[in-house]
Amino acid sequence: MVLAERGLRVTVTVLATYLVAIWIATIWWTYRDIRSRSTDVWLQVTATLLVAVFNFPGLLIYFILRPQQTLAQGYVEALEEEAWRRTVSDSNVCPACQETIEPDFLLCPSCQARLRRTCSRCERPILLSWKLCPYCGAAAGSTGSAPTTSSAPRG
């Protein structure tokens, strides 16, 4: 009988130690998880205490209430959104430094890269690669009148 009692005591001790280890591990995991999901110290302490006091039911409540995204996931999502926004409005970005610019800027205010030039006739901003001004039809770089089309009959 003493041997059975001793075996039962050892089994209960091992089981209790195992449960305490699991309980401490869930508290530690909750602490690390909430730190990766929020920078709010009050929320971190509350979530950790919820699991520490209520154990597995507290962990279940934490799973239901915790923020869906980690801070890293939110950061990546914000970067993707910014990249998408920049590709959608690609014409409003400096090709040299990728800073946002206005469509009529001649120079980038951040890196001073030349973006456009003014038409010599109507003085509106035109792209450097354009051969003609789309507003007045003047040849880029010329000071004369708009180019004329030939009205001679083709034969």
Question: Where along the chain do its domains lie?
Answer: 2-69, 89-145
Reply yes or no on whether the pLDDT at 89 is more than 80: no
Burial of 101 (0-12, 13-18, 19+ CB in 10 A): buried
Reply yes or no on whether the pLDDT at 152 is more than 50: no
Q: What is the mean pLDDT of residues 32-43?
A: 96
Per-residue confidence (pLDDT) for residue 26, from 0 to 100 = 97
pTM of the model: 0.54
Residues 94 and 113: beta-carbon distance below 8 Å: yes
pLDDT: is 128 or 151 the higher one?
128
Burial of 113 (0-12, 13-18, 19+ CB in 10 A): middle
pLDDT: is 69 or 129 the higher one?
69
Q: What pLDDT band is residue 3 in, cutting at 50, 70 and 90?
A: confident
DSSP 11-64: HHHHHHHHHHHHHHHHHHHHHHHHHHH---HHHHHHHHHHHHHHHHHHHHHHHH
